[in-house]
């Protein structure tokens, strides 16, 4: 997955987090010395995603974004799927990697362009959540 200008939401703090997610997904396609390294990269990326959702939701809440609940629901459904994937990965390991990369790349491309873009114009520049 590559970063695209169309992913920009105009909130530096959130754009940085989105870029870190894209980097994390790209990182999964690199060579890992061992299974342990791969497992750590996957778990760090999943944690990054969970943290990002929390921060994004705080910002939307503070801003009184009217579609916040719908947005949170989309995050929450995705996290259910992520939990299942995480469990499977714990059992199967590296064989599941292509599935994880495809799933995350597709989901985040769609989410950045179709869902996160909806708050972009409204929220604009904003302070970091505490």
- In the numeric block, which tokens belong to residue 6? 């169309």
Interacting positions 58-87 with Fe ion (CB under 5 A): none
**Nearest by Cα to 19 from 30, 31, 5, 29:** 5
| Residue among 40 and 113 whose Cβ is closer to Fe ion | 113
Residue found by looking up tokens 């990182």 in the block: 27
Piece of 31-39, 40-48, 54-62, 85-93 that binds Fe ion (CB under 5 A): 54-62
CB of 37 to Fe ion, least distance (A): 27
Piece of 28-36, 98-106, 109-117, 121-129 that binds Fe ion (CB under 5 A): 109-117
- State the DSSP code for 129: P
Length of the chain: 130
Is the separation of the CB atoms in 41 and 63 below 8 Å?
no
Residue found by looking up tokens 């990002």 in the block: 52
CB of 99 to Fe ion, least distance (A): 22
The yes or no reply on residue 116 touching Fe ion (CB under 5 A) is: yes
Positions touching Fe ion (CB under 5 A) are 56, 116
């Amino acid at each position: 997955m590559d970063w695209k200008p169309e992913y920009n939401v105009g909130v530096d703090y959130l754009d940085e987090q989105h870029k870190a997610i894209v980097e994390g997904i790209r990182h999964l396609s690199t060579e890992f010395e061992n299974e342990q390294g791969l497992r750590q990269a996957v778990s760090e990326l999943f944690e990054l995603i969970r943290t990002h959702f929390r921060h994004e939701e705080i910002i939307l809440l503070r801003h009184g974004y009217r579609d916040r609940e719908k947005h949170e629901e989309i995050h929450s459904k995705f996290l259910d799927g992520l939990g299942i994937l995480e469990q499977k990965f714990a059992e199967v390991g590296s064989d599941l990697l292509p599935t994880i990369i495809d799933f995350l790349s597709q989901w985040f491309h769609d989410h950045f362009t179709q869902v996160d873009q909806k708050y972009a114009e409204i929220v604009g520049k904003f302070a970091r959540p505490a």
